[in-house]
Protein backbone atom coordinates (compact mmCIF):
# COMPACT_ATOMS: atom_id res chain seq x y z
CA UNK A 1 0.00 0.00 0.00
CA UNK A 2 2.76 2.42 0.85
CA UNK A 3 4.38 1.78 -2.53
CA UNK A 4 1.08 2.47 -4.24
CA UNK A 5 0.61 5.70 -2.31
CA UNK A 6 4.11 6.78 -3.22
CA UNK A 7 3.47 5.99 -6.87
CA UNK A 8 0.20 7.96 -6.87
CA UNK A 9 1.89 10.89 -5.20
CA UNK A 10 4.65 10.79 -7.79
CA UNK A 11 2.13 10.74 -10.67
CA UNK A 12 0.23 13.66 -9.12
CA UNK A 13 3.46 15.59 -8.77
CA UNK A 14 4.47 14.94 -12.38
CA UNK A 15 1.02 15.98 -13.60
CA UNK A 16 1.18 19.14 -11.51
CA UNK A 17 4.52 20.14 -12.99
CA UNK A 18 3.51 19.28 -16.55
CA UNK A 19 0.32 21.31 -16.24
CA UNK A 20 2.36 24.27 -14.96
CA UNK A 21 4.61 23.80 -17.98
CA UNK A 22 1.65 23.80 -20.36
CA UNK A 23 0.27 26.94 -18.75
CA UNK A 24 3.64 28.59 -19.07
CA UNK A 25 3.93 27.82 -22.80
CA UNK A 26 0.31 28.87 -23.37
CA UNK A 27 1.25 32.27 -22.00
CA UNK A 28 3.20 32.85 -25.20
CA UNK A 29 1.85 30.60 -27.96
CA UNK A 30 -1.39 29.08 -29.22
CA UNK A 31 -2.10 25.45 -28.40
CA UNK A 32 -1.86 24.37 -32.05
CA UNK A 33 1.79 25.48 -32.18
CA UNK A 34 2.83 23.75 -28.98
CA UNK A 35 4.51 20.34 -29.02
CA UNK A 36 4.92 17.93 -26.13
CA UNK A 37 8.64 18.78 -26.32
CA UNK A 38 7.84 22.43 -25.51
CA UNK A 39 5.67 21.48 -22.56
CA UNK A 40 8.24 19.20 -20.98
CA UNK A 41 11.06 21.66 -21.64
CA UNK A 42 9.13 24.34 -19.82
CA UNK A 43 8.24 21.92 -17.01
CA UNK A 44 11.83 20.68 -16.68
CA UNK A 45 10.60 17.11 -17.23
CA UNK A 46 11.35 14.32 -19.68
CA UNK A 47 9.04 13.22 -22.49
CA UNK A 48 9.01 9.84 -20.83
CA UNK A 49 7.54 11.36 -17.67
CA UNK A 50 4.93 13.14 -19.79
CA UNK A 51 3.76 9.92 -21.42
CA UNK A 52 3.65 8.17 -18.05
CA UNK A 53 0.85 10.54 -17.14
CA UNK A 54 -0.81 11.64 -20.40
CA UNK A 55 -1.34 9.55 -23.54
CA UNK A 56 -1.13 12.68 -25.72
CA UNK A 57 -1.09 16.46 -25.75
CA UNK A 58 -4.89 16.67 -25.94
CA UNK A 59 -5.24 14.67 -22.70
CA UNK A 60 -2.92 17.13 -20.99
CA UNK A 61 -4.99 20.11 -22.14
CA UNK A 62 -8.20 18.35 -21.07
CA UNK A 63 -6.79 17.71 -17.60
CA UNK A 64 -5.71 21.34 -17.42
CA UNK A 65 -9.12 22.66 -18.44
CA UNK A 66 -10.86 20.31 -16.04
CA UNK A 67 -8.82 21.42 -13.00
CA UNK A 68 -8.63 25.04 -14.00
CA UNK A 69 -12.39 25.46 -14.28
CA UNK A 70 -13.15 23.38 -11.22
CA UNK A 71 -11.09 25.84 -9.23
CA UNK A 72 -12.59 28.86 -11.02
CA UNK A 73 -16.12 27.71 -10.28
CA UNK A 74 -15.23 27.61 -6.57
CA UNK A 75 -13.42 30.93 -6.76
CA UNK A 76 -16.27 32.71 -8.55
CA UNK A 77 -18.92 31.27 -6.27
CA UNK A 78 -16.98 32.55 -3.27
CA UNK A 79 -16.69 36.01 -4.83
CA UNK A 80 -20.41 36.15 -5.59
CA UNK A 81 -21.28 35.11 -2.05
CA UNK A 82 -18.99 37.85 -0.75
CA UNK A 83 -20.76 40.56 -2.75
CA UNK A 84 -23.56 42.68 -1.22
CA UNK A 85 -26.17 41.08 -3.50
CA UNK A 86 -26.43 38.55 -6.31
CA UNK A 87 -26.29 40.99 -9.21
CA UNK A 88 -23.32 42.83 -7.76
CA UNK A 89 -21.81 39.38 -7.37
CA UNK A 90 -22.56 38.51 -10.97
CA UNK A 91 -20.76 41.67 -12.06
CA UNK A 92 -17.70 40.84 -9.96
CA UNK A 93 -17.65 37.28 -11.33
CA UNK A 94 -18.12 38.28 -14.97
CA UNK A 95 -15.39 40.91 -14.71
CA UNK A 96 -12.97 38.53 -13.01
CA UNK A 97 -13.45 35.97 -15.74
CA UNK A 98 -13.19 38.49 -18.57
CA UNK A 99 -10.01 39.87 -17.07
CA UNK A 100 -8.32 36.50 -16.88
CA UNK A 101 -9.36 35.72 -20.47
CA UNK A 102 -7.98 39.05 -21.61
CA UNK A 103 -4.70 38.44 -19.80
CA UNK A 104 -4.22 34.88 -21.04
CA UNK A 105 -5.80 34.74 -24.49
CA UNK A 106 -4.01 31.57 -25.71
CA UNK A 107 -5.00 29.67 -22.60
CA UNK A 108 -8.57 30.87 -23.08
CA UNK A 109 -8.56 29.92 -26.77
CA UNK A 110 -7.30 26.46 -25.87
CA UNK A 111 -10.13 25.89 -23.39
CA UNK A 112 -12.86 27.64 -25.37
CA UNK A 113 -12.11 26.71 -28.98
CA UNK A 114 -9.26 24.23 -29.37
CA UNK A 115 -11.05 21.61 -27.30
CA UNK A 116 -13.67 21.43 -30.06
CA UNK A 117 -11.06 20.10 -32.44
CA UNK A 118 -9.72 17.37 -30.16
CA UNK A 119 -12.38 14.71 -30.50
CA UNK A 120 -15.55 13.57 -28.73
CA UNK A 121 -14.04 13.31 -25.24
CA UNK A 122 -12.73 16.85 -25.38
CA UNK A 123 -16.06 18.10 -26.70
CA UNK A 124 -17.82 16.29 -23.86
CA UNK A 125 -15.47 17.92 -21.35
CA UNK A 126 -16.15 21.33 -22.88
CA UNK A 127 -19.87 20.73 -22.35
CA UNK A 128 -19.32 19.42 -18.82
CA UNK A 129 -17.30 22.46 -17.80
CA UNK A 130 -20.06 24.72 -19.07
CA UNK A 131 -22.53 22.63 -17.12
CA UNK A 132 -20.58 23.23 -13.91
CA UNK A 133 -20.78 27.00 -14.32
CA UNK A 134 -24.48 26.70 -15.11
CA UNK A 135 -25.07 24.62 -11.99
CA UNK A 136 -23.24 27.21 -9.92
CA UNK A 137 -25.46 29.90 -11.41
CA UNK A 138 -28.57 27.90 -10.53
CA UNK A 139 -27.32 27.33 -7.00
CA UNK A 140 -26.62 31.03 -6.54
CA UNK A 141 -29.91 32.24 -7.98
CA UNK A 142 -31.90 29.77 -5.89
CA UNK A 143 -30.27 30.78 -2.59
CA UNK A 144 -33.05 31.98 -0.31
CA UNK A 145 -31.10 34.68 1.44
CA UNK A 146 -33.39 37.66 1.01
CA UNK A 147 -31.51 39.04 -1.99
CA UNK A 148 -32.44 38.46 -5.61
CA UNK A 149 -33.95 35.09 -6.23
CA UNK A 150 -35.22 33.69 -9.46
CA UNK A 151 -36.21 30.23 -10.64
CA UNK A 152 -33.52 29.31 -13.10
CA UNK A 153 -33.90 26.05 -14.98
CA UNK A 154 -30.80 24.22 -16.18
CA UNK A 155 -31.27 25.11 -19.84
CA UNK A 156 -31.67 28.82 -19.18
CA UNK A 157 -28.64 28.77 -16.89
CA UNK A 158 -26.67 27.16 -19.72
CA UNK A 159 -27.85 29.88 -22.11
CA UNK A 160 -26.62 32.60 -19.73
CA UNK A 161 -23.25 30.89 -19.38
CA UNK A 162 -23.24 30.55 -23.16
CA UNK A 163 -23.74 34.27 -23.60
CA UNK A 164 -20.73 34.89 -21.39
CA UNK A 165 -18.75 32.18 -23.18
CA UNK A 166 -19.33 34.05 -26.39
CA UNK A 167 -17.91 37.25 -24.90
CA UNK A 168 -14.89 35.29 -23.70
CA UNK A 169 -14.25 33.68 -27.09
CA UNK A 170 -14.41 37.05 -28.83
CA UNK A 171 -12.13 38.53 -26.19
CA UNK A 172 -9.60 35.73 -26.61
CA UNK A 173 -9.31 36.47 -30.33
CA UNK A 174 -9.80 40.21 -30.63
CA UNK A 175 -7.22 42.81 -29.86
CA UNK A 176 -9.21 45.11 -27.59
CA UNK A 177 -8.20 48.29 -25.77
CA UNK A 178 -9.39 49.23 -22.28
CA UNK A 179 -12.43 51.14 -23.52
CA UNK A 180 -13.56 48.22 -25.67
CA UNK A 181 -12.94 45.80 -22.80
CA UNK A 182 -15.12 47.99 -20.61
CA UNK A 183 -17.91 48.08 -23.20
CA UNK A 184 -17.95 44.32 -23.47
CA UNK A 185 -17.80 43.78 -19.73
CA UNK A 186 -20.65 46.22 -19.16
CA UNK A 187 -22.80 44.71 -21.87
CA UNK A 188 -22.20 41.19 -20.54
CA UNK A 189 -23.27 42.29 -17.07
CA UNK A 190 -26.23 44.20 -18.53
CA UNK A 191 -27.35 41.09 -20.38
CA UNK A 192 -27.22 38.96 -17.25
CA UNK A 193 -29.15 41.64 -15.38
CA UNK A 194 -31.77 41.90 -18.13
CA UNK A 195 -32.28 38.14 -18.16
CA UNK A 196 -32.78 38.04 -14.41
CA UNK A 197 -35.13 41.03 -14.42
CA UNK A 198 -37.04 39.57 -17.38
CA UNK A 199 -37.35 36.11 -15.85
CA UNK A 200 -38.31 37.49 -12.49
CA UNK A 201 -40.93 39.89 -13.76
CA UNK A 202 -42.70 37.12 -15.66
CA UNK A 203 -42.34 34.65 -12.79
CA UNK A 204 -43.95 37.16 -10.45
CA UNK A 205 -46.70 38.53 -12.66
CA UNK A 206 -47.13 35.99 -15.41
CA UNK A 207 -46.55 36.67 -19.09
CA UNK A 208 -46.01 40.33 -19.81
CA UNK A 209 -47.91 41.79 -22.74
CA UNK A 210 -45.15 43.76 -24.35
CA UNK A 211 -47.61 46.02 -26.17
CA UNK A 212 -49.11 47.10 -22.85
CA UNK A 213 -45.67 47.56 -21.40
CA UNK A 214 -44.80 49.90 -24.23
CA UNK A 215 -47.72 52.15 -23.32
CA UNK A 216 -46.23 52.66 -19.86
CA UNK A 217 -48.95 50.83 -17.91
CA UNK A 218 -47.95 48.80 -14.87
CA UNK A 219 -48.64 45.10 -15.22
CA UNK A 220 -51.38 43.56 -13.07
CA UNK A 221 -50.08 41.87 -9.96
CA UNK A 222 -51.21 38.28 -10.28
Q: Judged by CB, which is closer to a copy of itself: 103, or 151?
A: 151
Candidates 45, 204, 199, 58; CA nearest to 125 is: 58
Binding footprint of a copy of itself, residue count (CB under 8 A): 59
142 binds a copy of itself (CB under 8 A): no
Determine the Cα–Cα distance for residues 164 and 189; give it in Å rounded to an integer.
Answer: 9
CB of 32 to a copy of itself, least distance (A): 7
Closer to a copy of itself by CB, 23 or 148: give it: 148
75: phi then psi, degrees, rounded to nearest 5: -60, -50
C-beta atoms surrounding 184 within 10 Å: 19
Residue closer to a copy of itself, measured from CB, 103 or 174: 174
Alpha helices in the chain (DSSP H): 2-26, 36-43, 47-53, 57-82, 86-103, 105-112, 120-142, 154-173, 178-205, 210-214
Pairwise CA distance, residues 98 & 89, whole Å: 14
Nearer to a copy of itself, 18 or 185 (CB): 185
Binding residues for a copy of itself, per CB under 8 A? 32, 85-87, 109, 113, 116-117, 123, 126-127, 146-149, 153, 155-156, 158-160, 162-163, 165-167, 169-170, 173-174, 183-184, 186-188, 190-191, 193-202, 204-205, 208, 210-211, 213-214, 216-219, 221
Amino acid sequence: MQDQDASLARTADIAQRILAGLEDVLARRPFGEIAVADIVASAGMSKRAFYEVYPHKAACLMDHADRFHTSWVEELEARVLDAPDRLAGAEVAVRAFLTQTHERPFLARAHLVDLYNLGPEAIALRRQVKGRYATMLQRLSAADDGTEKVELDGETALRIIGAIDDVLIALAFDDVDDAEFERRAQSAVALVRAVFVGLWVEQEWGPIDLNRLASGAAPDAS
